[in-house]
Structure 1
């Protein structure tokens, strides 16, 4: 399958959170397609290792250490990108785990939303105006999460940040309709993926249920090539059908006036299990 037209030799791809995981895997594929790479990350050491890996593969790469929660630093990233050439792809991939429930401290809530949501907003605000003025294909990819759709209890701050990112990216895609597809937006929705987050939870080897970051990146490229907005990734444990049923159940809470997050409500456990069995 041919790549999305924004993934083109001689163009610049900007990837935040690009020093590891899905961001680095995507950058490897953009580099293999002949793109010039600009990687941004908050981790200096990881950036250096990523740059070495990409250069050894023959990709031209520049790195910028930054915190995406700062509008000024995103403006600096835009300046660095402009110095490299015509930007055709922005991947807002930087993210952090929230680690906070409803009563978590203000610092956790602010850092989580500032990184996972506002980092993408600031990135789009910096790069989109030039993309709209350009005469070549462009694309913006925002890395979301299934947790921003089905909202499993626990990490509420993270769920809220990713739900906001979903809404923002959907609105972005609608705003881009007048470009006739020349500038496209995509919401990447990974499944269980072996990344730095997974390692920090104690899994030093890839769990059997998880996809690798490379599998997610390959799935993303295929979805972009098809023109998909929602790039909903399965993994080795959860199928596309299972995801669709879970998402449909979540939407059904409103339609059927069930309690919020009824998937985890004890009074609805049997109903949900029966609903999922219908998908098998």
Structure 2
């Protein structure tokens, strides 16, 4: 059974849809017969993305709109355009993100930009679209793109980690809110990609590392989990299976319960204990 919002003729909006996971998601929605609106920055990038989706799914209606998700007025204009043309939106994927790299004591402008796009962009999307999606009284779907870095918060790039930790909390609260509204047919889900080779993660590389998944593999996993009704869409990759992700997440939570040093997974005094913890959770065949 597919998610009830993922039906032919439904309207999907994908922010950050001009490349990477967003473009793969727009293409997957188009293959299911949805009308797709790709929102991103840059007319040329949008035109190329729309052409790629049309080539993959020739019978689909594809629209584009230049949108900077850090600007609430841009997101409001996007929602208004969908309402004016189609009467509303059925599927919203808040996927736009940036990762310029950050340092704890680095430039405030970098922190501001990352939080404005990665976190406020999701908040803007939810506030601009979701109330009207609820009011339509029909099945709806919201997917927010998070990150494992927002859960285990590894050292380095603190602004990105903070933004994605915020996305996790926002999406959890949204899902709870939606469940609490009588008769609401809109659901929210948190996409947690693994190592995905995209323009955001390429960092100058032209060949995909063997450990990475493609955006298409990640979106295929996402669609499977959406059809299953999962909230946490935890994606593996070619380096890290789900079992290892689970142990890393449990260890991170254990820092609080066990009163270990912050981020003890990377603390040399806990290296041996963490390795034993991971090993204990592996299936006998591994």
Q: TM-score range by the shorter chain?
A: over 0.9
2:263 corresponds to which of 261, 264, 267 = 261
Q: 1:192 aligns with which of 192, 195, 198?
A: 195
Distance 1:257 1:181 in 2: 40
Question: Which runs of structure 2 are paired with 1:128-207 in the superposition (5 Å)?
Answer: 128-179=130-181, 182-199=185-202, 201-207=203-209
SS at match of 1:211: coil
Match of 2:46 in 1: 47
How many angstroms apart in 1 are the aligned matches of 2:92 and 2:67?
15
Q: Residue in 2 aligned with 1:65? A: 66
Measured in 2, the distance between the counterparts of 1:181 and 1:73 equals 27
Matched residue SS, 1:62: strand
Q: For 1:184-221, what per-residue CA distance to the aligned partner results, in whole angstroms no more than 9, with x for missing partners?
A: 0000000000111132x122121110111001111111
Rounded Cα–Cα distance in structure 2 between residues aligned with 1:155 and 1:274: 27
Aligned to 1:245: 247
Q: TM-score, normalised by structure 2?
A: 0.95
| Structure 2 unmatched ranges of 5 or more | none
8 Å contact 2:175–2:189 — kept in the other structure?
yes
Report the Cα distance in structure 2 between the residues aligned to 1:198 and 1:146, rounded to whole angstroms: 14
1:87 is paired with a residue of what secondary structure?
A: coil
Measured in 2, the distance between the counterparts of 1:84 and 1:235 equals 39
**CA shift for structure 1 position 181:** 6.2
Any stretches of 5+ residues in structure 1 without a counterpart?
A: none
Residues 98 and 157 of structure 1 are in contact (CA less than 8 Å); yes or no, is this contact kept in structure 2? Answer: no
Question: What CA distance in whole angstroms lies between the structure 2 residues aligned with 1:275 and 1:63?
Answer: 48
Q: Distance in 1 between matches of 2:8 and 2:263?
A: 45
SS at match of 2:151: helix
1-side partners of 2:261 and 2:179: how far apart? 36
CA root-mean-square deviation: 1.1
The answer to whether the 8 Å contact 1:36/1:84 transfers is no
Residue 84 of structure 1 deviates from its aligned partner by 3.1
| Distance in structure 2 (CA, Å) of the matches to 1:232 and 1:204 | 26
For these two proteins, the number of residue pairs brought into alignment is 278
Question: Where has structure 1 moved over 2 Å in runs of 4 or more?
Answer: 178-181
Contact 1:12 1:84 (8 Å CA) reproduced: no
